[in-house]
Chain A
């Protein structure tokens, strides 16, 4: 009896499972087609061009890794991105913490303020720094009016202006990632620390902070990857002597028309960011960032 029953139920079950596999595939098709045509295909072209444009050789890559110009640009890029990341983390941490411990209305209010600049276009935000930091900008005018300085400070077109604008752009995302990580910390652990003798500061230092560190590292990696590719901000606010990699690629492509060199630099940047994302995924799991499983 059982054998027969098993026999009759098997075929429909198999049909169901193969249908279960086909439907998601069908649903993914339009998206896959879009990505292939507008992302993978250009990527492949770029890859091909980086070799083809230099007579089918690695010449473009040799330049990348040997020319002092590229070394300097890469160093500037990594340095700027690192500093921006660290500052963004330091500024975002307390905000994320306050978000975590406050409830309802206060949380919504802070979140709104965090996101208002996020809704403003990145170019508009960058230009607003031009207005604030220029020789005749608001800050210098204030400083001179109050007599603190007599000649305007050089606030613009240097690494200071680039960093300040980058951090401002990165902050909302950093706060949100940290906030997400902190929300996952079990609040009864803090209660457990307190009842067993820890004051608020000690509970934070010995329990909350260590448990928030994986989230900090994760946010750091992600923000760093984002900062590596910044273009508009250093282009508008930075010094031409301290260009970042995205600007150099732009110059190669649109001014020097050296598409092979631009493609090679772009690919290297892509590989670095992918590697970092892979490390992130391995140790911090991209899923968790988006509120997926905690495993």
Chain B
């Protein structure tokens, strides 16, 4: 594979206060986003959060009601889709059924680049080699499997070396195994071509594994932007915490705030220490105490002296096996907390046992108790 031959530099994409409504439905509401050149950025969010609309605005299929889109610092408001020099992979692939694989891949070259016949043929061959489909170039799309069609769509999107590639749930129609394989392939291809990618998905694990930057969308707005790790470890609000991975969001009341530390009351029980709130908070405010299940340390209550119990005490309600880990549901007063323990530690926990739950102080975070917090249906063990 000649990597240097297919390499381009990515475009910088900026969305400025972008809005779009369909009648009374606000699909995108004041979106501002800066995608650095060459970045793989995912738009992640539940169904209806405005991801496709955002992508179609960037592509130029829709005109924004307000705001602006800048590609390489130039507004593309007056540039029609075919002159934006973008590649796109559609959810249903949208290959041209009346053209062979080679003609599909060559389409953007015939429309865009005024290349010589030999030069085009070379480019098509290069692209087909990159997606490992050289042997199928004379086939028609209907004669290909889903994964192969997906690769043809990638090759077509990249052949004219666009500086920006848009993908709308490109793996949605594939089964889990193939999806994981294609995720790795797309990453590799991105690395070798160097173009900027805006990738839409509602699959959080896909977004976390593939992206340099994740934009979590919620109800037409951006809930948070960050690297996958930052979003996972330091979600800005209950929605993001809940949407990305498993989480515990324990309703709490702030008792005391200080610069280095604050204290919260959970239910009407223990007052425990928490890191300082990353938002304006005063004593008496409601908040969520957020802890990842895998950051919880569990001990059988019988092995800890009552005076040494620094954490919460609860009863194991459920225990389920997930291969590498066990997941536990633990009732603490009215709340049910989730915890994960490694397989070999599980012997000491059974349903009905009392356990002491604790965590290191910096594993917990205080999140604002906004109305659109953990209301999403995405909670629960995954």
- Using CB atoms and an 8 Å cutoff, list the residues of chain A in contact with chain B: 186, 188-189, 191-199, 202-203, 206-207, 210-211
- Is A197's CB under 8 angstroms from B92's CB? no
Given A189-B96, A202-B111, A207-B96: A194 in contact with B90 (beta carbons within 8 A): no
- CB contacts between A and B, total, < 8 Å: 66
Residues in A whose Cβ lies below 8 Å from that of B110 = 206
- Is B98's CB under 8 angstroms from A193's CB? no
The reply to whether the CB of B349 lies closer than 8 angstroms to some CB of chain A is no
Nearest neighbor of A195 in chain B, beta-carbon distance = B88
- Is B160's CB under 8 angstroms from A197's CB? yes
- Is B61's CB under 8 angstroms from A196's CB? no
- Is A195's CB under 8 angstroms from B98's CB? no
Residues in B whose Cβ lies below 8 Å from that of A196 = 82, 87-88, 107-108, 111-112, 156-157, 160
12 CB < 8 A contacts A-B: A186-B94, A188-B94, A192-B88, A193-B107, A193-B111, A195-B61, A195-B84, A195-B87, A196-B156, A197-B112, A198-B107, A202-B111
How far is A186 from B84 in the complex, measured between Cα atoms in Å? 23
The reply to whether the CB of B59 lies closer than 8 angstroms to some CB of chain A is yes
How far is A87 from B67 in the complex, measured between Cα atoms in Å? 48
The reply to whether the CB of B80 lies closer than 8 angstroms to some CB of chain A is yes
- Is A192's CB under 8 angstroms from B90's CB? yes
Most buried by A among B60, B81, B88, B112: B81
The reply to whether the CB of B352 lies closer than 8 angstroms to some CB of chain A is no
Given A188-B90, A202-B111: A194 in contact with B97 (beta carbons within 8 A): no
The reply to whether the CB of B86 lies closer than 8 angstroms to some CB of chain A is yes
- Using CB atoms and an 8 Å cutoff, list the residues of chain B in contact with chain A: 59-61, 80-82, 84, 86-88, 90, 92, 94-98, 107-108, 110-112, 156-157, 160, 166
- Is A197's CB under 8 angstroms from B88's CB? no
Residues in A whose Cβ lies below 8 Å from that of B166 = 195
- Is B82's CB under 8 angstroms from A199's CB? yes
Q: Which of B61, B82, B94, B157 contacts A189 (CB 8 A)?
A: B94
Residues in A whose Cβ lies below 8 Å from that of B61 = 191, 194-195
- Is B111's CB under 8 angstroms from A191's CB? no
Residues in B whose Cβ lies below 8 Å from that of A188 = 90, 92, 94
Given A191-B61, A192-B88: A197 in contact with B96 (beta carbons within 8 A): no
Residues in B whose Cβ lies below 8 Å from that of A203 = 82
Q: Which of A186, A198, A207, A211 contacts B82 (CB 8 A)?
A: A198
Residues in B whose Cβ lies below 8 Å from that of A206 = 107, 110-111
Given A195-B59, A195-B88, A196-B156: A211 in contact with B98 (beta carbons within 8 A): yes
Most buried by B among A191, A192, A206, A207: A192
- Is A192's CB under 8 angstroms from B96's CB? yes
How far is A32 from B82 in the complex, measured between Cα atoms in Å? 56
